Structure 1
């Protein structure tokens, strides 16, 4: 393994199948669980931060009349729903998990306590962090960078629908070129939209490399773990 302790940031949209009107596609959840099982057997320690965009996105809600703060809290609750869905998929494969939330909801999850989270990871449990940072106006990308820093993750794996960071959206611009590597500062200067500026800055301050990769590539997460990277690596140099 190239990395021991990883934090996976996955969007809520990655879990859904719009054609079948499913917020949580069973095939995608099974694929996620299968790769986690492989990585755990290799000795990896895995934490997850999941978005809520497949259910509700606070910023989009504010554009349709929902108060921004209220909308962001609604989005945080959506991430908890996704966290429980991931937990269920993993436990169906015999993987021990814990969901920890930034907003206390003891009936369904543990409150986030850093020492407990680290201990769960050391015991081989997958820790799923829900409810973002617990504060409005912060994205789940920022939550991922924050949790990665708190648990001393070796890498932040950012799952996307493309195989890395490009100069422009490769879906819209056929002339877009891919970065194999890029520095945090260049990513900030170029205002690349793959993650928000706060997330890039926090990883830069704590020297946590970011690997942006294609979530739907077969064994994509395992490839990042073992250093067979087809994505883009963001570091100091």
Structure 2
């Protein structure tokens, strides 16, 4: 298959946004970047890209610095949030490097201009990169403090006209309580935006869920630790929870 081809038959989405946490990149370590884990996730992205799906990504920065925790420890909130945004740029560059080692053309686009390391956010340019079958990684959140990368992911997904947000987590969907601590936890196959908000199910923060609801953008929650899980869901298989209207 060439990059210019349409998605393969059976693939359910043409353009998606993959949202992962910064913690997903630290693997078995308690902090920072774990190169084998970054490479494994890059291989998952490449396998979906090979299906002809247009992919953009948002990666959190919690493996390096989390603004909310910084402010809780006495740091001024705006400064702490900007530090968190810079952490997402570092993660985006790491993922770009891993993808390009796999011959997947990738662009990092930052909401905070830093021309020597990545492109500034210009919506039309980002859309054009996707049309050319490049993976686009959005970094530095929305460029504003007090907004999470969940909200940034929902914002960018809407701006890029994505058909869904895929949120990769450590579990295979949304549960009514923490399945790690509660063996009797119930997994939802489908759940509404309002139910997520009312029951505080922790899929994304309230601003992100409300923005997805207002634009009827589905959120697919799946396990990033399941090999081939991302590709499987896009081919109509696998275990996941769909958050929708």
The TM tier, using the shorter chain, reads over 0.9
1:15 correspondence with 2:25? yes
Q: Any conservation in 1 of the 2:31–2:63 contact (CA below 8 Å)?
A: no
User: What CA distance in whole angstroms lies between the structure 1 residues aligned with 2:21 and 2:91?
Assistant: 10
Deviation at residue 18 of structure 1 after TM alignment? 4.1
Q: What secondary structure is seen at the aligned counterpart in 1 of 2:166? A: strand
1:129 correspondence with 2:117? no
Q: Any conservation in 1 of the 2:17–2:166 contact (CA below 8 Å)?
A: yes
Q: Any conservation in 2 of the 1:161–1:216 contact (CA below 8 Å)?
A: yes
Inter-CA distance 22–136: structure 2 relative to 1 (3 Å threshold): closer
Aligned pairs for 1:127-166 within 5 A: 127-166=136-175
Q: Any conservation in 2 of the 1:211–1:224 contact (CA below 8 Å)?
A: no
Aligned pairs for 1:53-202 within 5 A: 53-202=62-211
How many residue pairs match? The answer is 235
- Using the size of structure 1 for normalisation, the TM-score is 0.96
Deviation at residue 214 of structure 1 after TM alignment? 0.4
Q: Any conservation in 2 of the 1:210–1:235 contact (CA below 8 Å)?
A: yes
Segments of structure 1 that go 5 or more residues without pairing to the other structure are none
Deviation at residue 130 of structure 1 after TM alignment? 0.2
Deviation at residue 223 of structure 1 after TM alignment? 1.5
**Correspondent of 1:221 among 227, 230, 234:** 230
User: What CA distance in whole angstroms lies between the structure 1 residues aligned with 2:36 and 2:28?
Assistant: 13
Deviation at residue 161 of structure 1 after TM alignment? 0.6
User: What CA distance in whole angstroms lies between the structure 1 residues aligned with 2:190 and 2:50?
Assistant: 29
Give 4+ residue runs of structure 1 displaced > 4 Å after superposition: none
Deviation at residue 110 of structure 1 after TM alignment? 0.6
User: What CA distance in whole angstroms lies between the structure 2 residues aligned with 1:135 and 1:229?
Assistant: 36
Structure 2 partner of 1:232: 241
Deviation at residue 174 of structure 1 after TM alignment? 2.1
Residue by residue, what CA displacement relative to the aligned partner does 1:88-133 show, whole Å, maximum 9, x if unpaired?
Answer: 0001111101000111111111111111111000001000000001
User: What CA distance in whole angstroms lies between the structure 2 residues aligned with 1:68 and 1:206?
Assistant: 29
Segments of structure 2 that go 5 or more residues without pairing to the other structure are 1-10
Q: Any conservation in 2 of the 1:95–1:126 contact (CA below 8 Å)?
A: yes
CA RMSD of aligned residues (A): 1.1
Q: Any conservation in 2 of the 1:61–1:68 contact (CA below 8 Å)?
A: yes
